[in-house]
Structure 1
Amino acid sequence: MAKKSEDNSVSPPLTCGLVMPISAIDGCTADHWAEVKNIICDAVSAIEGLTFVPKLVSEQDDVGVIQKRIVQNIYSSDIVICDVSCKNANVMFELGMRLAFDKPTILIKDDKTDFSFDTGVIEHLLYPRDLRFSRIVSFKKSLAEKVYATYQASISDPAHSTFLKNFGSFKVAALNQTEGTPDQVMLDMLQDISRDVSRLKRNAFSVLNKNSPHKLDQMSDIHSAFQTYKEVNGWAGSSFDLIGNDSFYDFMEGHVNLRFYESRKSLVTAVDDYVLTSV
């Protein structure tokens, strides 16, 4: 285990990003990966002299767009532990980004997964896929020592490199980061969410049209009736507030082409579907 510094000073918390599978793959269940994550977190949390906060790079306390969050955490984490077991595609992609940033990275894998050609030059710490207790104890000790040593090397040696130094001199990739006011940050987040909602709406209409050719005409008909409702009633509130409103359904029933519907219930269902995909 890493040794505590002699002055017993308390180091500020450091971020330890985790890149690893989380869902079933190659015979390993989601519960298996949850157990592997617990093992890694136990090892990192037990390091003496440095305080690391381990968490998946997809995790964040605030609300935001997950892809942007992942890239930001991959870049900004003080150290990253990457489990390449089973060669999960997302994991390998995220590892590639971290190595391009040339920041402290530790690779681990289970004893059933072959080494990858491109990353074979990097030392891997091995653990048993069956998570046998006696070998896991040894693995946790080795991982804690590796994290401590790698981080200390990265801050003491400006030329420290996990990967790129093996192939020559390169200009390391970086993220452009600008400071902004809280209002600017909130506006950026809202714009990201708006783009995602628009994409979901397009996908929803695409699925409707694919599953039933007349669905798009039906949605267009409901859209026209809904716009008329807003104009006639001066409606400016949330569309969600109209769900379950009988007078709203009465109006829509009188302004849509009823040939699309077998009953009022099917009309209400179609109107609700439109409202949920049009906000």
Structure 2
Amino acid sequence: MATEKSKAEPKTAAAELEDPALTICGVIMPISTTVNFSEAHWERIQTLLHRGIRLAGFQPTNVWVNDQRDRVSERIIGNIFTHEIVVADISDLNPNVMFELGLRLASKRPTVVVMNKGGQIPFDIRDFHVLQYPSDMNILDMEAFYLDLSETLINKHNSFKSKDYRPFLDGVIVEVTSPSTREVTGVEAVLTRLDQVSARLSGIENTQKAIAKTPTPSTMYSVFDANRRLNSEASTLDLYSINQLNRSASAAAASASSAHQGPVMSSAAAAAERAITEGVALNPKRFID
């Protein structure tokens, strides 16, 4: 992913011709110096690509442009997955471009790949239709490229809008999900926390007992380590926190008694009391004022 500096928008006359009424066509391409081309070269290529996109009736916008997001990476990924159509220039196989193209193909939205004539097409996308423009940007050859690019953009976008578009990863299932949250009641939170505390103590105790049944020289260190872990776990049990859990469980038991949840909450309170008792027995100094 490119940095803010490397993704600065070049000041060109074309940048002043924005029309918000047009459908946006995103542009993925290098903008700074690459292995074989200078930054000035890419500024010229950008101007030419934008011109060809406008010829097709779209609004060209580089994928890193979005005034509503401060983080450049968030702008790029957001635009890659939301723009209806995108042009990607893979000349010089720039790593940022290839990564962004991969994300775009995963979106299963229309993508037009272009590159300079004589460039190398990676094996993974060798069967993808790639439009080539003249490396020397000869004006006559560029006119032919404009027409080819314009026709391809229009055809792909029309097929996408009519639900006839067949994406590059048509047979691959790609799901884009967002993290979700779930609200829980106070009762659930208390019971979950008590279960976690009880499970940690029980697991270490069981390990200690199992090892102690065969006290050979090779297992003595394991017994010692189990004791150390047990005391370490006990020392992390903050008496104040456990008391808080106990009080919460007791309060929940009282309020839930009318709803016949008393036995469940009594068990929760008993678990909290057991955690306190075991914690004090294992490490009394931890809980003495």
Structure-1 residue corresponding to 2:53: 44
Gaps of 5+ in 2: 1-19, 181-289
Deviation per residue, 1:185-244 (Å, 9 max, x gap): xxxxxxxxxxxxxxxxxxxxxxxxxxxxxxxxxxxxxxxxxxxxxxxxxxxxxxxxxxxx
Tell me, in whole angstroms, the C-alpha distance in 2 between the residues paired with 1:40 and 1:17: 11
- Answering whether residue 125 of structure 2 is matched by residue 119 of structure 1, we say yes
Give the deviation of 1:35 after TM superposition.
0.8
Letter of the 1:128 counterpart: P
Contact 1:13–1:53 (Cα < 8 Å) also in 2: yes
Any idea what the Cα deviations from partners look like across 1:143-164, whole Å, max 9, x if unmatched? 0111001100111125x23311
Q: Distance in 1 between matches of 2:70 and 2:122?
A: 33
Alpha-carbon deviation of 1:172?
A: 2.8
* Distance change (3 Å), C-alpha of 1:177 and 1:155: farther
Q: 1:64 matched to which residue of 2?
A: 70
Query: Is residue 144 of structure 2 the alignment partner of residue 138 of structure 1?
Result: yes
**1:21 maps to which residue?**
30
Q: Partners of 2:21 and 2:174 in 1: how far apart?
A: 27
Contact 2:69 2:75 in 1 (8 A): no
**In structure 1, what is the equivalent of residue 262 of structure 2?**
none
Counterpart of 1:162?
167
TM-fit CA distance, 1:127: 0.5
In structure 1, how many angstroms separate the alpha carbons of the residues matched to 2:123 and 2:30? 20
Aligned to 1:172: 174
Please state how far the C-alpha of 1:26 moved relative to its aligned partner: 2.4
Rounded to whole Å, the distance in 2 between the matches of 1:62 and 1:152 is 28
Superposition deviation, residue 141 in structure 1: 1.0
CA RMSD of aligned residues (A): 2.1
The structure where helix makes up a greater share of residues is 2
Larger Rg: 2
Distance 1:60 1:149, change over 3 A: same
Q: Tell me, in whole angstroms, the C-alpha distance in 1 between the residues paired with 2:151 and 2:115.
A: 17
CA distance in structure 1 between the partners assigned to 2:96 and 2:109 by the alignment:
19
Could you tell me whether the CA contact under 8 Å between 1:17 and 1:56 is conserved in 2?
Answer: yes
Match of 2:39 in 1: 30
Q: Under a length normalisation based on structure 1, what TM-score does the superposition of the two structures give?
A: 0.55
Q: Which runs of 5+ in 1 are unaligned?
A: 1-10, 179-279
In the TM superposition, what whole-angstrom CA distance separates every residue of 1:111-155 from its partner, at most 9, and x where no partner exists?
131111001111000011111111011101110111001100111
The more displaced of 111-120 and 88-97 is: 111-120
Q: Output the CA distance in 1 between the equivalents of 2:66 and 2:42.
A: 19
Q: Which residue number in structure 2 is paired with residue 261 of structure 1?
A: none
Tell me, yes or no, if the aligned pair for 1:75 and 1:175 is still in contact at 8 Å.
no
Within 5 Å, give how 1:174-193 maps onto structure 2: 174=176, 176=178
Aligned length: 162
- Which secondary structure does the structure 1 equivalent of 2:86 belong to? strand
What does 1:48-127 correspond to in 2, within 5 Å? 50=57, 52-127=58-133
| TM value normalised by structure 2 | 0.53
Instruction: Give a deviation string over 1:40-67, Cα, whole Å, max 9, x none.
Output: 11111122xx4x2111101123351111
Find the aligned partners of 1:16 and 1:123 in 2 and give their Cα distance: 18
Give 1:170 shift. Answer: 2.5
User: Separation in 1 of the partners of 2:148 and 2:177?
Assistant: 32
Q: Which has the higher contact order (CA 8 A, sep 6+)?
A: 1
